[in-house]
Amino acid sequence: MEAALKAHINREIEAFGVVRQLSIDTSKKTMRIELDLNGESAPISVDIDSYELNEKDGVLRIAFQEMNASREWISAVLKKYVVGQAFPLPNAARLFF
């Protein structure tokens, strides 16, 4: 599951960087992502403290409720542009969530 989602995220952010590591706790609905972002000298970690899954028009979507990053400016960007938004997941994600 984690490898499939990691590959999906990498396709989405390929212009910005790459996911080094991804861990998901489906029972607690939390995630931790470690990224190498272009222009950053050290890996960035993102903690997702809460996410929700829903389905609309046959498409599985994920919405992040709480996120924090190891860089303050990235946390601010995530809170402004990512938290509360619903993002489509590939159909294969249904097997894991």
Per-residue pLDDT for 90 more than 90? no
Angle (nearest 5°) at CA 79 between 12 and 35? 40
Rounded to whole angstroms, the Cα distance separating 24 from 14 reads: 21
CA separation for the pair 61, 14 (Å, rounded): 20
Concatenating the DSSP letter of every residue in 36-90 gives EETT-SS-EEEEEEEEEEEEETTEEEEEEEEEEESSHHHHHHHHHHTTT-EEE--
What's the pTM value of the predicted model, to 2 decimals? 0.83
Q: pLDDT class for 93, splitting at 50, 70, 90?
A: confident
Report pLDDT digits (tens) over 10-66.
999 999 999 999 999 989 999 999 999 999 999 999 999 999 999 988 899 999 999
pLDDT score of 97 more than 70: no
75-77-82-84 Cα dihedral, nearest 10 degrees: 80
Q: Cα–chain-centroid distance for residue 32?
A: 8
Domain ranges of the chain: 2-95
